[in-house]
Amino acid sequence: MNRQRIIVGLSGGVDSSVAALRLLEAGHAVEGLFMQNWAEDEEGYCQAAEDFQDARAVCELLGIPLHRVDFSREYRERVFAAFLDGYRQGVTPNPDVLCNREIKFGSFLAHARRLGAGLIATGHYARTDGSGRLLRAADAGKDQTYFLHAVDRDALRATRFPLGDLRKREVRAIAKAGGLPNHDRKDSTGICFIGERPFAEFLGRHLPDCPGDIEDPEGRLLGRHAGLSRYTLGQRQGLQIGGVAGRPDAPWYVAGKDPQRNVLVAVQGHDHPALLERRLLAAHPHWIAGTPPGLPLDCTARTRHRQPDQPCRVAPAPGGGLAVVFDRPQRALTPGQFIVFYAGAVCLGGATIAAVGDAADTANPPVAVAGGTSLSA
């Protein structure tokens, strides 16, 4: 085989460690790179030091070099700043997508090339075919193409995903059989810079809370919220709406935000009509092929990780955006999040959800509301 020099992004976890092991067993010249993307804070929630020690132990076992680089400044400027800005605007951003595009397949790839390597690898559950196409992983439950849809095709051409054909249980078995010291390490969850702390606590340190009213869709007062940034559409927990006269004793859910009035809109019922919508407007589309497919396009889409594929039609919209109509109503479509498009096993790309329902008919929707008038079936 053609022996290639590949630098693997090692996080200290089992997935990236097995990725390095598989490449080494395939005969490649493998090196590790530990990226610190968030500075350790005084409360100790960030586990960078512990992660680095785990990565170093794996490299010592495998007999490969381990490089270390600090991308904290790049992360704050390219990812965290956009994260905070999204919450200031009343939407719910997804920093993992930006982290992949800007850091893990941007800064990391550039650094690997400075070290003299032409290829990088990660422990993501995804596949490529050598031409830069992004394909779903064999393990549908672990597939991470949703988070990778914004990565440039040139970066995908230079990337290997050694876990793309494996199930998670197989990865654990390989790690144990290979004697990896982290074979039983618990998977990390959540956003790296938040760690295990409560999300609202972290956000409150960076964005001032601005309490306001909670209303129903008809404008009747239901209670008070702690700040719009603390809530996302479809959320049930944390509303603290007590018994409301004339209303049934049923859970309340966030159905919309009105940043101009600082009002949170809530409804009763998991599948309330205000939480269901078929239309959305998406902005800043990124097509992995480099050019958009022929539009209008019938395909499937996800508006959140692990969501089953939803059939839809995608058409061009004014200003370079996309108008999307789903075959069936979708629950809690959320501005700031991403819609990702698929054609079978191929991830085509995605775009940022800008507005939904009736608000999608305007270029600058004033209210990020989940509800609206659906198109007739």
Question: Active-site residue numbers?
Answer: 99, 192
| For residue 198, cis peptide bond before it (omega within 30 degrees of 0) | no
Closest CA to 308 of 328, 335, 337: 328
What is the per-residue DSSP string for 45-60? Answer: ---HHHHHHHHHHHHH
Q: Write the CB contacts of 7 (distance below 8 Å, at least 6 apart in sequence).
A: 30, 31, 32, 33, 67, 112, 115, 117, 119, 120, 121
Instruction: Tell me which DSSP letter residue 115 carries.
Output: T
Is residue 115 within 8 A of residue 108, CB to CB? The reply is no
Are the C-beta atoms of residues 233 and 334 closer than 8 Å to each other? yes
Q: CB neighbours of 49 closer than 8 A, spacing ≥ 6?
A: 40
In one letter, which amino acid is 312?
C
> For the CA atoms of 234, 257, 192, 152, what is the dihedral angle to 10 degrees?
100
Strand partners, 322: 282, 316
Question: Which amino acid, one-letter code, is at 94?
Answer: N
Residues with Cβ within 8 Å of 243's Cβ and at least 6 positions away in sequence, in order, are: 249
Determine phi and psi for 340, rounding to 5 degrees: -120, 135
Strand, coil or helix: what is 256? Answer: strand
| Residue of 10, 309, 21 whose CA lies nearest to 170 | 21
State how far the Cα of 236 lies from the Cα of 150, in Å rounded to an integer.
30
Q: How does DSSP classify residue 376? A: P
Which residues are registered as beta bridge partners of 134?
128, 347
DSSP structural state of residue 162: T
Determine the Cα angle at 295 with ends 289 and 298, to 5°.
95
CB 144 within 8 A of CB 130: no
